A and B are shown apart, each in its own frame.
Chain A
Amino acid sequence: MFWIISYLPSELLSAIGLILLLAGVLITALASLIKFVPVINMYRLYIQILGVVVLLSGVYLRGVFETEIVWRERVAEAEAKVRAAEKRAEEATAQVVTEYRDRVKVVKQQVQVVKKEIQIQREVINADCKLNPTAIDLYNQSITPPKDSKK
């Protein structure tokens, strides 16, 4: 039954709780005064019971509604915190990725500079050395990952 409460606005919940509580107090007080009115004195017990029931309901619902309001405030607060954290997480990801891209750009530029320099110094580098196929095979073996390294 209390699931309905979650659909009601906080102000309405607070008002309902307060009205029921005040009605309960009023009926209970009225039941005490009724003994001075002879015509309706015979209904005093029923009015007293009704007063107590309404008062109990008012106190109970006031507790439920107040808890619901506190609960809603906490949920809103927690949601705001989580949303802010998610936004910060996205910003942090964008920041580290930008840093990475900048660094990779520098690495690629450096490789191009070295390759250009190798091209310029080509004659000097090749002057006293000639590679043989065994050296190439061994070199290629060293850069090939072992077959069982990728699973």
Chain B
Amino acid sequence: MKNLILGLLIVALTGCASTAVPITQKFPKADPVMLEPAPVLVPLPAGTTELDKLIANTAENYGLYHEMVHRLELWQNWYHKQQQIFESVK
């Protein structure tokens, strides 16, 4: 009888052997706007003599710089949010 109980326990424990759950989280997709290449700064046309053209061109290029600053912030925000979401699943 003892052998029977021992045998039953061993068999039951063998049947209960578990395995890890094979579920993976998909890598989040970035929006196409995030993957656009950085704009090239606009040069001044040769032969320009007016100062206002230079200032206008500078303003335009500063605008492009500020767009890139926001693009960098976009990536940083995106990364932190995705990291938080990823870690919340564990």
Contact = CB atoms under 8 A, between A and B. Distances in A.
Interface of A: 52, 55-56, 59-64, 66-67, 70-71, 74-75, 78-79, 81-82, 85-86, 88-90, 92-97, 99-101, 103-104, 107-108, 110-111, 114-115, 118-119, 121-122, 125-126, 129-133, 135-136, 139-140, 143-144
Contact of B63 (A85, A107, A143): A107
19 contacts: A52-B4, A75-B23, A82-B23, A85-B86, A85-B88, A86-B28, A88-B85, A89-B86, A92-B78, A92-B85, A93-B29, A93-B30, A99-B74, A111-B63, A119-B52, A119-B56, A136-B54, A143-B43, A144-B41
B34 A97 contact: yes
Interface residues of B, number: 57
Main secondary structure of the interface of A (DSSP, over half): helix
9 tightest A-B CB contacts, nearest first: A63-B15, A111-B63, A143-B41, A92-B81, A100-B74, A89-B28, A64-B15, A140-B43, A63-B16
Contact of B12 (A59, A90, A100, A104): A59
Interface of B: 4, 7-8, 11-19, 21, 23-26, 28-31, 33-34, 41-44, 46-56, 59-63, 66-67, 70-71, 73-74, 77-78, 81-82, 85-86, 88-89
Nearest to A131: B49
